[in-house]
């Protein structure tokens, strides 16, 4: 096949165009820090990047879910801590009322304070996170105590769970109807006994009931503490997963600057050499001589 001047010129121009494109791609990589800017440049890298970003989005969502879990558990524990303190005060008042030297007037004053503590504990049973009640099971939109009676709606002993990992859920609520109702009934009996002149023996007998309720509160708090420990482990797991996926995403998409700069310098040298050779290939035409 006869090689003409036109063929040499066209090949040279085509190679120069390809060289410009390569340098343009390398320049884009240096500007963006990414291996590709369009999926068509490398579909495999693009598909892997989508998968890694999906994993990162899931991790971020689970981290937000864990924040909500912590809100529930911390608020529940704080409420029960105040219930425990209230029971300690009831214990002190009952011990004082059981003293044989107390007059009817003294007992009335103790009864008034215990009544206020009872209302305070009822309010603690209605503790909320946002617009959701913590101690009413899945019936999160209704209070545990309406100011007169405890609610009897369904779902009070059902668990509220939040997903914190693929297929992993953590119970966030504390079933409180039995606990708060038991405490309320006990304090109601103490109020009655203080008002009807019951003996010191009857009143001191409530100390055992108070101790039982205190233990019940501690058991609930221990259960919350166990779940808080699990949440902490899940937070560590998600943090590790975030680091791993972020590293995989970086390895998949981010450039090695030293490598790209070296390729850029090499490509520039090749391009300059091509220009120099091309200047010799394209010979002056007759028109150039006539000028």
User: 3-class secondary structure for 114-138?
Assistant: HHHHHHHHHHHCCCEECCEECCCCC
Q: Kindly list the averaged pLDDT for each block of 10 residues, start to end, along the chain of length 291.
A: 62 68 74 82 90 94 96 97 98 92 90 96 96 94 93 90 94 96 96 90 95 97 97 96 93 82 76 69 53 50
Q: Where are the domains of the chain?
A: 50-250
Cβ–Cβ under 8 Å, residues 204 and 94: yes
Q: Which of 212, 156, 154, 204 is nearest to 185 (CA)?
A: 212
Looking at the domain 50-250, which fold is it?
f41 fragment of flagellin, N-terminal domain (1.20.1330)
Q: What angle do CA 97, 100, 106 make, to 5 degrees?
A: 45
Cβ–Cβ under 8 Å, residues 96 and 108: no
Using the structure block, give the residue that is written with the tokens 């320049």: 27
Per-residue pLDDT at 280: 66
Per-residue pLDDT at 276: 72
Q: Show the beta-strand stretches assigned E in 217-288.
A: none
Using the structure block, give the residue that is written with the tokens 């850029």: 264
Per-residue pLDDT at 287: 47
Q: What is the largest CA-CA distance in the chain?
A: 134
d(CA 151, CA 7): 92
Per-residue pLDDT at 285: 52
Q: Which of 119, 62, 49, 61 is nearest to 90 (CA)?
A: 119
Angle, helices 104-124/177-195, rounded to nearest 10 degrees: 170
- Report CA-CA distances (Å) from 255 to 53, 55, 260: 17, 21, 7
d(CA 124, CA 133): 10
Using the structure block, give the residue that is written with the tokens 């939109």: 141
- Report CA-CA distances (Å) from 242 to 47, 55, 64, 238, 247: 19, 8, 13, 6, 8
């Amino acid at each position: 096949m006869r090689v003409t001047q036109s063929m040499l010129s066209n090949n040279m121009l085509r190679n120069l165009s390809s060289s410009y494109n390569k340098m343009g791609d390398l320049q884009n990589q240096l500007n963006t820090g990414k291996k590709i800017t369009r999926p068509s440049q490398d579909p495999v890298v693009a598909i892997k990047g989508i998968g890694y970003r999906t994993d990162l989005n899931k991790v971020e969502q689970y981290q937000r879910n864990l924040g909500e879990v912590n809100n529930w558990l911390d608020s529940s524990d704080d409420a029960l801590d105040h219930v425990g303190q209230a029971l300690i005060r009831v214990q002190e008042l009952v011990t004082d009322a059981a003293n044989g030297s107390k007059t009817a007037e003294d007992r009335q004053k103790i009864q008034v304070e215990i009544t206020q503590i009872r209302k305070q504990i009822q309010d603690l049973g209605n503790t909320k996170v946002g617009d959701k009640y913590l101690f009413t099971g899945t019936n999160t939109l209704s209070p545990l105590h309406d100011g007169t009676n405890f609610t009897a709606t369904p779902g009070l002993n059902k668990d509220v769970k939040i997903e914190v990992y693929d297929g992993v859920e953590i119970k966030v609520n504390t079933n409180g109807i039995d606990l708060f109702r038991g405490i309320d009934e006990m304090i109601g009996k103490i109020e009655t006994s203080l008002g009807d002149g019951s003996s010191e023996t009857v009143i001191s007998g409530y100390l055992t009931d108070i101790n039982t309720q205190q233990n019940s509160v501690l058991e609930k708090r221990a259960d919350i503490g166990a779940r808080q420990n699990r949440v902490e482990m899940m937070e560590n797991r998600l943090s590790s997963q975030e680091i791993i996926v972020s590293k995989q995403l970086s390895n998949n998409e981010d450039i090695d600057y030293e490598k790209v700069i070296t390729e850029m310098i090499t490509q520039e040298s090749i391009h300059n050499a091509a220009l120099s050779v091309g200047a010799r290939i394209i010979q002056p035409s007759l028109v150039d001589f006539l000028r």
